[in-house]
Amino acid sequence: MIKRYGDYFDRKTIVITGAASGMGRETALLFGGQGANVVCADVDEEQGRRTAARIAEAGGVADFVKTDVTRRADVRRLAEQAVAKHGGVDFLFNSAGSALRRSKFLDIDDELLDRAIDLNFKGVFYATQEILPHMLRKKFGVIVNVSSMSVKRGGPGATIHYAAAKGAVTTLTLGVAREFAREGIRCLSISPGPFDTNFQAASDTTPELAQKFLADVPMNRLGRPSEIAELVLFMCSNVCEFMTADTVYVNGGGGYR
């Protein structure tokens, strides 16, 4: 694999939640190929270990820590193990998230609301709060969170619970970035539109709704997880050190209707 930024990522450590699939997995593979130590975290142990194994087979350094990001104790253990193994954490990619299931607003019950907030917001909050102190000790760190294009649209008729939780992620990103900007910490978020991941199937997206999403994309295709991975790599690199607090929309020109 060609190194994008020379030896910048050599021996630096990234923690990635949601590393068993989709954007998290592609980002883990890319960072592993760039010389970083990759700590893969996911509730899916089989696929998470497979991600770590693929990195190791390609000559990289990777560990897997089974982690339920909705449980603070799990996330704290993840941070502690990453620091114990690698001496610190340089980058955090909060990729774990899901709409869980689609629902009209008046049909959203307490269980769905709580699960959406726990996974999509609290998971990001816990990981950031547990890993940030280790970054502050070195006066260096980059945190990248996955928000959503749905924040601009609100998710009417299907994912208001998800859009609201992701809106909180965007606000969290802004707040953390501004509070710790003078401490060597950068914090950014990515707001994807429709992507070719298992997210759609996991949230019971019908073929009709999937076609509607695609019709709204001027590029006339879904995004690829590898495209998010490349963006995360850029955000964590040393070529955009003045970039923080913002969200970057990645949507093929769509998502505004």
What was the pLDDT predicted at 69?
A: 98
Which pLDDT tens digit goes with each residue over 15-45? 999 999 999 999 999 999 999 999 999 999 9
Distance CA 67, CA 22 (A): 17
Q: How many domains is the chain partitioned into structurally?
A: 1
SS3 label, residue 7: coil
Examine residue 204 and state whether it is found in any structural domain, yes or no. yes
Examine residue 150 and state whether it is found in any structural domain, yes or no. yes
Examine residue 256 and state whether it is found in any structural domain, yes or no. no
What was the pLDDT predicted at 208?
A: 78
Examine residue 37 and state whether it is found in any structural domain, yes or no. yes
What was the pLDDT predicted at 207?
A: 78
**15: which strand partners?**
39, 92
Which pLDDT tens digit goes with each residue over 50-64? 999 999 999 999 999
Examine residue 8 and state whether it is found in any structural domain, yes or no. no
Examine residue 3 and state whether it is found in any structural domain, yes or no. no
Active site residue 162: yes
Cβ contacts of 111 within 8 Å, gap of 6 or more: none
Q: Which residue bears the tokens 């710790």? A: 180
What was the pLDDT predicted at 73?
A: 98
* Set 5, 8, 126, 162: catalytic member: 162
**97: which strand partners?**
none
Average of per-residue pLDDT across 134-152: 97
DSSP string, 152-185: HH--TTTTHHHHHHHHHHHHHHHHHHHHSGGGTE
Which pLDDT tens digit goes with each residue over 210-244? 787 788 899 999 999 999 999 999 999 999 999 99
Examine residue 190 and state whether it is found in any structural domain, yes or no. yes
Q: Which residue bears the tokens 């590029």? A: 219
Examine residue 257 and state whether it is found in any structural domain, yes or no. no
pLDDT of residue 201 exceeding 60: no
pLDDT of residue 205 exceeding 70: no
Which pLDDT tens digit goes with each residue over 95-126? 999 999 999 999 999 999 999 999 999 999 99
Q: What is the CATH number of the domain that holds 135?
A: 3.40.50.720
Distance CA 237, CA 120 (A): 25
Which pLDDT tens digit goes with each residue over 87-99? 999 999 999 999 9
Q: Residue 153 is part of which domain span?
A: 13-247
Cβ contacts of 224 within 8 Å, gap of 6 or more: 195, 196
